[in-house]
Amino acid sequence: MNRIDINIKHGPLVMGILNVTPDSFYDGGKYNSIDAALYHVREMINDGVDIIDVGGESTRPGAEEVTLEEEIDRVCPVIEKIIHEFNIPVSIDTRKSRVADEALRLGAIMVNDISGLQSDPDMPVTIAQYNAYCVIMHIKGTPQTMQLNTEYNDLLSDIAKYLCQSIEIAKKAHIADDKIIVDPGIGFGKSLEQNYVILNNIQYFKKLGYPVLIGLSRKSLIGKLYDTHEDRLPGTIALNAIAMYNGADIIRVHDVKEHKLIIKPLKMLYQVANS
């Protein structure tokens, strides 16, 4: 199979979110049918998306776990159709190696594992077998428990240590160094203030030597700042602009068009600041 690659060096890249779940915090239930999912993929491609991240299990705080069979049934038909109908790289958002294996077999090029390879012991080998990209994220606990305890000895150092442990797991499984991407896990076991500390210190994680992915789209770190249920898109765009200016290589978003439009002026600003 001729897999489509990505070029992170020409970033920042925009990863478009496609949740085929009934209970995701923002778009749960919107793209459960294959037709609806493909329509949204076509929209994102027209808007300039660089990679589509398909997820079949909600990871919002307190979300219930999904069985292996149910997750496969949700994501695989959609991934197969995307690969067949579009010329776009696909990522699978999962903690389960069996789901990853099925998605990679169909043509996905990336596994986005919110547990940082620390949930399913077979995940690293599965990724290595396909020479796939691997997004290693930090999480404290699980989606069911992560917001119960957000205390750290040293926030940035503790996150970096977890990521380094995951990187070692990846290396032992022979995942190629140039396929590893790290994600400090905004919204996954962090307080409101801690999320902003992470956003302000992306260069700290860049020092690990790997591209950094940031996923903050429409999350509560934005929603909690408003007294009413305001649209979270303006805040999302503002924070993602800061994330990219601070060094994020990939941003994971629900709204592709708006984020693609801000990349060119951000690149110009960065060039002027560093000339």
95 is catalytic: no
Q: Which of 50, 5, 8 shows the shortest CA–CA distance to 181?
A: 8
219 is catalytic: yes
Catalytic residue among 140, 218, 232, 252: 252
CB atoms closer than 10 angstroms to residue 74:
22
What are the CB-based long-range contacts (under 8 Å, 24+) for 217-220? 217/17, 217/26, 217/251, 217/252, 217/253, 217/254, 217/255, 218/25, 218/26, 218/254, 219/25, 219/186, 219/187, 219/195, 220/187, 220/192
Catalytic residue among 140, 219, 264, 267: 219
Distances in Å between the Cα of 254 and the Cα atoms of 27, 48, 217 are 9, 13, 6
Q: Is 162 in a helix, a strand, or coil?
A: helix
* Contact in structure between 70 and 58 (CB atoms under 8 Å): no
Catalytic residues, by residue number, are 219, 252
